[in-house]
Chain A
Amino acid sequence: MTGDSLAPPRLAANTTDSAVEDAVRRAQAGDVDAFGMVYRVHAPAIHALCRRMLGNDEDAREMVQDVFVRAWEKLASFRGESALRTWLHRLGVNLILERLRATRRDALRFADDPGDLPAAGGTLDRRLDAEIDLAAALDRLPNGSRMVLVLHDIEGYSHEEIAAMTGIAPGTSRAQLWRARRHLSRMLDA
């Protein structure tokens, strides 16, 4: 694999955890090709996280770049106490929250009253298919509510962890989650 290749280096089809760990060690020593292998393994999940939390693909693609560039810079500090996936996800969540706080005034706006949440129907009702896309419904939630929903129900973070990351109280996280589920359910059932 040369450094000029446009595609990230492939791991063999029967890639084992130890092969990935070896790639991580080599990447920590400065091997960019090895980091490309790590990227290939973890990029889809990181992209999914970014796409769901940010609500649009363009921002998500930019954020994936930021996450992996930051991961490269900080890789030396990864000691392996947690799984690399967890480490990357936490890094990604932190960067996403940082970006939202810096670029959007309403970045962490939560749905405090029913008016903050999109009503069922409307644009979504006009979709050609009756089947409503979950991703599209998620995108319609306010940023704060969507983040709590994604972090808890999809990424598996606890309310305490979400509270620590976002700066809200665990009780607020719970309330936002339940409210977001209700509205999402209504949108999907519409």
Chain B
Amino acid sequence: MIHLTEAERQCVADGTVAADETGAVGAHLAVCTECAADVERLRRLIHRMRAEPMPNAEVEAMWPAIRQRIERGKVRTLPSPAPRARRRWRTVWIGAGAVAAVACLTVLLRVRPHEPPGSAPRAGSFVPNGGALSPAGDSAGASQAEIQRMLDEIELEKAMLPPSTAAVADSDLRAIDQAIADLKDAIARDPNNPALRQMLAESYRQQQDLLKRLHNAS
């Protein structure tokens, strides 16, 4: 007698025997106790595996750790915007200061009585000279030199400023430039007004300070 092959026994046991082999295999099993016993052993094993209760597990005890991992995964670390925001607010405040200076200047020009055109400049004041500021005395000369030094530094700071940083502070710089231009116009009309010159110097300092801060920040 030729017994069933291993493949045939296994396939009969798990029910995957080909349809065209079912008849011949069944006929053999009906007469061969050895093959029938072997197939039956395999069937019991497969049945036992499928009927095996699931391993006991306290799955509820695992949930807190899973939940914790899920909640942790929800938190996404975003780059902190704090430093940029601080720099931005600083430039905004400086710009606002420049705008306020322009407003003060306007008020000052309206309320202050003009001196007669022929009166001599006071010490420590500047007179316009072809659009530039000229010293009217020794102390005025020192002030003019100080302003020129600041202008040189401002140009240098502007040149060294990265384009991206300059773009961020562009509106603030333009506000200060506008304030400076207005002050120059005011000084041209009222060359003996020391308050205007003081404000102009202050505007230059503000601009210089802003540029330095931007430069340091970048």
Interface centre among A60, A61, A73, A149 (most CB of B within 10 A): A61
Q: CB of A36 within 8 A of chain B?
A: yes
B14 touches A43 (CB 8 A): no
Q: CB of B19 within 8 A of chain A?
A: no
A177 touches B46 (CB 8 A): no
CA separation between A44 and B67, bound complex, in Å?
17
Known contacts A32-B71, A72-B70, A134-B48; decide if A178 and B64 are in contact (CB<8 Å).
no
1/0 per residue A59-90: CB within 8 Å of B?
A: 01100110011001100000000000000000
Q: Is the interface of A mostly helix, strand, loop or mixed?
A: helix
A8 touches B55 (CB 8 A): no
A-B pair number, CB within 8 angstroms: 93
Q: CB of B60 within 8 A of chain A?
A: yes
CA separation between A93 and B6, bound complex, in Å?
28
Q: Is the interface of B mostly helix, strand, loop or mixed?
A: helix
**Chain B residue at minimum C-beta to C-beta distance from A65:** B66
Contacts of B10 in A (CB 8 A): 174, 177-178, 181
B62 touches A64 (CB 8 A): yes
Contacts of A61 in B (CB 8 A): 57, 62
Contacts of B59 in A (CB 8 A): 8, 39-40, 43-44, 47, 64
Residues of A within 8 A of B (CB-CB), count: 38
Known contacts A65-B65, A69-B66, A184-B45; decide if A135 and B55 are in contact (CB<8 Å).
yes
Contacts of B73 in A (CB 8 A): 69, 72-73
The one of B46, B62, B64 in contact with A153, judged by C-beta atoms closer than 8 angstroms, is B46
Contacts of A44 in B (CB 8 A): 54, 57, 59
Q: CB of A57 within 8 A of chain B?
A: yes
1/0 per residue B72-85: CB within 8 Å of A?
A: 01000000000000
A154 touches B50 (CB 8 A): yes
A8 touches B50 (CB 8 A): no
A68 touches B66 (CB 8 A): yes
A181 touches B42 (CB 8 A): yes
Interface contacts beyond A44-B54, A60-B55, A149-B49: sample of 16 additional A-B pairs, CB < 8 Å, sorted by A: A8-B59, A32-B70, A40-B60, A43-B63, A45-B54, A48-B54, A52-B55, A64-B62, A65-B62, A69-B66, A135-B52, A153-B49, A174-B7, A178-B7, A184-B45, A185-B41
